[in-house]
Structures are given as C-alpha cells and as structure tokens.
A and B are shown apart, each in its own frame.
Chain A
Amino acid sequence: MNYIIDGLFQAIQLLINGDGETYSAVYASIRVSVYSMIVSLFIGIPAGFLMGHHDFLWKKHIRTITDTLMSLPTVLVGLLVYAFLTNRGPLGEYGFLFTLEGIAIGQAILALPIVIALTATAVESMDYKLKVTLVSLGASRRQVLFSTLWEARYGILAASMNAFGRVLTEVGIAMMVGGNIKWHTRTITTAIALETNKGEFVTGVALGIVLMAIAFIVNFSLSFLRNRS
C-alpha cells in the first residue's frame, strides 16, 4: 500500500519541482488529445447530426457499424495506423510515424465513432416536436440544424467527454504509432507502461495520479460550464 501513498506524494513533488520529463509527457498527452478531439468533433458532430436527424438508405446498418466501432481495440487502431504511416505504407511519405501528429491521427479514429454514435443518439432523442416547433416559428433548414444541435448540447457534451476520456487514457496507439520516444512522443500513458515495466511503481502511480487530475480538471470545467448555462 505504501507505494500508492508514496506515489501521491511523488506526484505532487514531480509537479511542484517542475520535473521536465513529467511535464514533457503531460504536454504530449494534452497536445495529442486536443489534436484528435478537434478532428473527431469537427467531423463527428455533423456526421452524428446527419445520422440522427435524417433517414437514408443503409442507415440502420451504418449505425450498427458505428456502434460496434465504439469498442475498437486501441492496439488494432495502432496496428492499422502504423501500417499506413510506416515507410512502406501508403502514407509513409508524409513522415507521421513516431510523431505526435501520427498518434493524433490514430486517436481521432478511435474517438470518431464515439462522437458520431453518441451525437446521433443525442439528436435522435430530441423530440420530433422540436422540429415542428422550430419550423412553425419560421426557422430555415440551417437554423433548424443549429438550433437542434444547441438543444442537444448536453448530449453532445457527454459524447465529447466520453471520447476525450477514451483518447486521454489509451495506450495502444500512443505506444505503437508514437514509439514512446522520451522528450518527443512519450505520453503519460506510455510513460506509466514503461515505468511499470522498469519496476518503478511509485513513478507509475505518480503519473497515473497526474492523468486522473487532468481528466478531473477537464470534466469539472465542463460540468461547471454546463451548470452555469
């Protein structure tokens, strides 16, 4: 038990003392999470809206596939992205392998089905009466779209938080695509895996606590904003 308590104290020490290696991992984690969330939200929210709001051919099948992809194994995504980004792969020429951008691509693929499926659920759960109300008050197609997204904002926020949680805590993609390179592509999760392998449990616990703290801060801030609105 002592190493958990020691880990807590060490986490505080690492952060207070401005430990460069820890901050590098924190910075890398936040950077790839932000990149991947921007991409997945940018694509996922409109796609989720379309899936939740419109009827089209094969919708049910596409929905089933999207729901299934929500539980994509991170190592599988890592493997596929690695295969595409490696020198011999179709995107090898862009040099994204072992970069934060490469990890972000994989994490965006991981987050995208979550954002699409949960946004579609949030929009679907909006009553048909919402559309009736908006149109009968004179809304145009575009205004119906934006007002529906605004009405579904809590559901979309939940989708984003869910995806962020998955992205921040995944280790398979960051390890395989990023390569866990110190000062470069080492994220908090890959650092924890490494420290644990080395038998440095206390450092691993310290980094785990930092990871939890980031997740708490993000979730708490979003909850605060939600309650204020």
Chain B
Amino acid sequence: MNTPTYHLTEIKKFYNSNRAVYIEDLSIPESSITGLVGPNGSGKSTLLNMLAFIDRPSEGTILFKGQKAEPYSDIVRFRVSLLAQEPYLLKRSVYENVAYGLKLRGGNPSRYPEQVNESLALVGLSPREFSNRPWYGLSGGEAQRVALAARLVLKPEVLILDEPTASVDADSAGRIMDCAMMASKEWGTTLIIASHDWKWLHEICGNVLQMFKGKIIGNSMENIIFGPWNQNANRFWEKELEDGQRIRVPAPPSPSSAAIIQHGSISLTSQSPILMKYEHSLHGVIAQLSLEPSTNAVMVSIRAGSQTFMLRISQDEARETAISPGQKMYISYPLSAVTWY
C-alpha cells in the first residue's frame, strides 16, 4: 500500500487554553479528493492551516509522505499550497502575484510569462487584459481566480481549498471547481476542500469528513441540531422549530448540548406519520436532491422549519417514492440514534 500523503496522529491545536482541533487519527491518500464539512467554528480552517503547514499543531505529529513535517520545512514548502476563502493579493500587478511563487522556486525566468499566461487562461482570465492590472482593480471573483492561478502555476502536489467558492459569483465558482478537478485529473494533485456546498463535495470527493467542535464526527453529512433543549410536561426533551414542530431527543448531557442524528438512522416516507417506522416524526419539504457518485446513492436534503436534515436513500427507493424538490415528506428516527457533543 502507498504511503499516504498525510498521516495525522493525536493532533491537538489550542488557542489560549481552548482546544480548537483534536484529530485522533487521520490518513489522506495520495491523489485523493477529501471534503471537509461542518458548521462555522468547527475547526475546519484551523485543520487546513495545519495541513498546509502554515500553523503547527500544539501537540501531535503530522507525517507528510511518511516524513515528519513542519512549517517552512523543505519537505513541504514547495509541495503544498492553500487557497483561502477570502483571497489576499500582494500589492502588485496580477502578473507579479501569479509569478511570485515561481520566483521563489527559481527556475528559468524567461519561462515565467508563458507559465503565468497559461495559468491565467486556466482560470478564465485573459492574460492580455489582466496581466498588468493592479491588485485593487479586480472584482472579488477575479481576485479569487488570480489567487487560484498563483497556486495552479506551481502545479502543487497538494492543493487545499478553504471554502473557495463561498464569496464569489456563480461563474467564478464554476471555474474554480473545474480548475480543482483539472489539477486532480491532469497532475494527480491531492485535493482537500472545505466547503458548505455539500452537493459539490459529495459529487467529487472520495471521502467527506464532517467536523464539529474540532473533531471529525463522521464520514459524511451528519445532522447536527444545536440546543437549547427544554423538558416538556411529559418529561420529554425537545426543541421547538419555527413552524411549531418539536424535535424530540433523549435526555441531553446539558440543555445546550448539540445532538447528532446520523443520516443512516433517518427513515423517509410520503405516507401518514402513523405508518412511520420510529416513534418520533417530523414533516418537511424536500430542498435538494443529488447523486453521490462514490456510493451511487441519492442525497436528500429536507427542510423542517429552519432545520435541514440530510439523509441518503438508494436510487430504487428514490424512484419508488417518486420524490422531487418541494414535495412534503415525513421523516422519523429512533431516539437511540441520537448522540451528543
């Protein structure tokens, strides 16, 4: 078996005394595409900064291709690159921004213009039009594409994208997604992508990791329901949604704990709630459907009040129930499927 690109063991990152990330054991294979999802503040960016060797963990070791690596070490300096959510361009022209990494690596300066032009063309920016533009003469989407071009020109072995499409227009987002896939297919680049676009991640990633409170809690979209939880007159613990429905859970460790309902435990039906599989049910509206190529399953997103539930059904099941976006459906889950964080 090939040595994985990354192997993380007992990684902890503290800010002051607060633990931001704790990864017990994680391997990321070479040339794979790994997705990272999770709510804001779950530790995604902290983890990505450590994987990009910008920050070092407070405890634990990160092995890069079997070797212990740290920020600025020669093993990783020219091999890993990160694109942040909000691009930062150096106070120079577009050309100088894209060529910066090339200059750090040395090489043949006479080839820089050709390499920069190729990279700008890849991200859909005309070299003639954009090369001499100053950093302040770009829209948000163009700036993000220039930042991506500055990474692609280096043909990195690992490209880490931290919510790359979160603050750009649809056209730029599409280009960024295409370029990431091109890097993976053409150069065998290992991609690690954090995004709220679960649909995109499930389409392209071999493995999608869900983070919550600094930990990896699963390999897919688990349903996280934040407190506060209240105990009703019948001594059931519940949270009331905006539409008046109540999510019932077993007794939480504390009223502010977050409940996790694994998507595999949720049952879906368009029938009356009386026929539901489990004791507790909710109704909602299908918000999104998408095919997950790695499993050939259909990912269903159902909105109940302000809460979105994710679950996975087989294609046959999807055909039988004839579900479509906007349709009213019922979900149920056993209380035993609820875990706490």
Contact = CB atoms under 8 A, between A and B. Distances in A.
Interface of A: 127, 129-133, 135-141, 143, 147, 151
B86 interface: yes
16 contacts: A129-B88, A132-B49, A132-B82, A133-B90, A135-B72, A136-B80, A137-B101, A137-B150, A137-B151, A137-B154, A138-B77, A138-B105, A138-B154, A140-B77, A141-B72, A151-B90
B54 interface: yes
B284 to A, nearest CB: 39
A147 B88 CA distance: 13
Contacts of A133: 84, 88-90, 147
Contacts of B84: 129, 132-133, 136
Sorted nearest first, the 8 A-B pairs with minimum C-beta distance are A129-B88, A137-B101, A136-B82, A133-B88, A138-B104, A138-B78, A135-B54, A136-B81
Given A127-B88, A151-B91, A135 B104 contact: no
A143 to B, nearest CB: 6
A129 B49 CA distance: 11
A132 B150 contact: no
A1 B78 CA distance: 69
Contacts of A135: 52-54, 71-72
Contact of A138 (B86, B88, B101, B160): B101
B340 interface: no
A112 B146 CA distance: 39
Nearest to B89: A133
B231 to A, nearest CB: 43
Contacts of B101: 137-138
Interface in B97-112: 100-101, 104-105
Contact of A137 (B49, B53, B71, B81): B81
Nearest to A147: B90
A127 to B, nearest CB: 6
A136 B52 contact: yes
* Most central of A132, A136, A139, A143 by chain B CB within 10 Å: A136
Contacts of B160: 136
Interface in B43-99: 49, 52-54, 71-72, 77-78, 80-84, 86, 88-91
B72 A140 contact: yes
A130 B84 CA distance: 11
Nearest to B100: A137
Contacts of B80: 136
Nearest to B80: A136
Nearest to A135: B54
A45 to B, nearest CB: 18
A139 B104 contact: yes
A131 B89 CA distance: 11
A135 B101 CA distance: 10
Nearest to B49: A132
A131 B104 CA distance: 15
Contacts of B89: 133
Contacts of B53: 135
Contacts of A151: 90-91
Given A127-B88, A137-B81, A132 B104 contact: no
Nearest to B153: A137
A135 B104 CA distance: 11
Given A132-B84, A133-B90, A143 B104 contact: yes
Contacts of B82: 132, 136
Given A129-B88, A151-B91, A136 B151 contact: yes
Contacts of A139: 104
Contacts of B78: 138
A111 to B, nearest CB: 26
Interface string B121-162: 000000000000000000000000001001100100000100
Contacts of A143: 104
Given A127-B88, A135-B52, A136-B151, 20 more contacts: A129-B84, A129-B86, A132-B49, A132-B52, A132-B84, A133-B84, A133-B88, A135-B54, A135-B71, A136-B54, A136-B80, A136-B160, A137-B100, A137-B101, A138-B77, A138-B104, A139-B104, A140-B77, A140-B104, A151-B90
A127 B85 CA distance: 14
Contacts of A141: 72
A132 B90 contact: no
